[in-house]
Amino acid sequence: MMVDEALMWNTQLLSRFAVALGGFLIFMGMIMIGVLALVFFGFLDVGILESEKYRVIFLGALLAIGLLDLMSGIILRRR
């Protein structure tokens, strides 16, 4: 009985985590689409990314979002 309750608690926790992570990734996707639209219509200059310091930060952020997306895909696949 205790093992059954522990597994149920772990499943609920993992499910909540997957929902929270999915919401975060949807939010980040909306921000990225908005930035793309601003760049496309010329309201935002991407020349700032030519600096090495900002390029590393930008690429690190994209890598972190990609890893979170991979992790949420693995979690949702196991469900």
Q: How many CB atoms within 10 Å of residue 20?
A: 11
pLDDT score for 8: 66
Residue count of the chain? 79
pLDDT score for 79: 62
Helix 52-78 and helix 2-40, axial crossing angle in degrees, nearest 10: 140
* Cβ atoms of 9 and 18 closer than 8 Å: no
> What's the average pLDDT block by block, 10 residues per block, for the chain (79 residues)?
60 78 84 86 81 84 85 75
* Cβ atoms of 58 and 49 closer than 8 Å: yes
pLDDT score for 68: 83
pLDDT score for 22: 82
What's the number of domains the chain is made of? 1
For residue 63, the enclosing domain spans 2-78
